[in-house]
């Protein structure tokens, strides 16, 4: 079973769409909200050089959970998990 951490924020529509899709697919994950905990924001920027969310850690590998300039798509979400 993969360990998945999602760096997210309540204001982020891509985060909401990705998490809803993961819930629908039965993918378990831990949420780290960058607005509620500044340490999560610092870690995100330190590891990725970015402040944008969503970002995921899947089995220790950092993956951007959005396509810049594009709306959320299930096809992209599936590609994050090789589904």
CATH number of the domain that residue 44 is part of: 3.40.30.10
Which domain, by its residues, includes 21? Answer: 4-80
Distance (Å, whole) CA 74 – CA 81 = 11
Number of domain units in the chain: 1
- Write out pLDDT tens, residues 38-55: 999 999 999 999 989 999
Task: Specify the pLDDT at position 82.
Answer: 82
Pairing of strands 4-8, 61-64: unpaired
Over range 17-41, report the average pLDDT: 97
Please tell me the pTM assigned to this model. Answer: 0.92
């Amino acid at each position: 079973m993969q360990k998945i951490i999602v760096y997210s924020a309540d204001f982020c529509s891509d985060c909401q769409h990705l998490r809803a899709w993961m819930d629908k697919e039965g993918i378990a994950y831990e949420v780290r909200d960058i607005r509620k905990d500044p340490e999560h924001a610092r870690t995100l920027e330190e590891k990725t050089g970015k402040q944008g969310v969503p970002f995921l850690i899947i089995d220790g590998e950092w993956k951007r959970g959005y396509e810049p300039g594009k709306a959320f798509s299930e096809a992209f979400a599936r590609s994050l998990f090789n589904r």
